[in-house]
Structure 1
Amino acid sequence: MILEHAILCVRPGQSDDFERAMAKARPLIARQPGFQLIEVRPSSDDGECYLLLVRWDRIESHRERFRQSDDYQQWRALLHSFYDPMPEVNYFGPCIFHD
């Protein structure tokens, strides 16, 4: 299991539109082979930043499948104009412990 992580900083005043666009984009990622879960959480401190967590079966499911798909092009068209700056994506391996 791989956990994709990104901090999404949205342009000022566009949070509501971003959340609506994310709701439209969710099915695009959810139907990808290897997709397991997506969470988008607003920051408690900054209403224009969000935490994106996506769980994949393998890193290749994101990098080589989703990112090279037509669905990703639609994802980009829906969401990427909101970001300032563009988010840095990081990947984390299996959990070593969980409470």
Structure 2
Amino acid sequence: MILEVALLQVKAGQEQQFEIDFDKASQYISSIDGYKGHTLRRCLEAKGKYILLVDWIDVDAHEINFRQSPQYLEWKAMLHHYYDPFPTVEHYETVFENSNQ
């Protein structure tokens, strides 16, 4: 499994509507083959800054299954106009994990 990490900067004054639209757009990403789950977190220190964490079975699930799908076009239409600048997106693999759950 890999983790997609996207740093999102939402335009000032649009944070509340972004969160509403993000919730609605989540249906598109969650319908993709290879999707495992996602989390959106709001930064406490910087207004309008978010981090999106998406678990995928592999990079192709994100780069091909999602980004080349009709669902991505819907996602893009609903969310991309909120960002300035456009998000940085990277993929990570687990090297070490410790959990006290």
Aligned to 2:21: 21
- Give the Cα–Cα distance (whole angstroms) in 2 for the partners of residues 58 and 46 of structure 1: 31
Cα offset, 1:47, TM superposition = 2.5
1:80 aligns with 2:80: yes
2:51 matched to which residue of 1? 51
CA distance in 2, matches of 1:71, 1:80: 14
Structure 2 unaligned segments of length 5 or more: list them: none
- 1:63 partner amino acid: E
TM, length-normalised to structure 1: 0.96
Residue 96 (structure 1) shift: 1.7
Deviations 1:24-71 (A, max 9, x none): 100100011010110000001112010100000011000011000000
Query: Pairwise CA RMSD of aligned residues?
Result: 0.8
d(CA) in 2 for partners of 1:11, 1:87? 12
**TM-score using structure 2 length:** 0.94
| 3-state SS in 2 of match to 1:27 | helix
1:59-94 deviations in whole A, cap 9, x for unaligned? 100001100000000000000000000001000012
List 4+ stretches of structure 1 deviating above 6 A: none
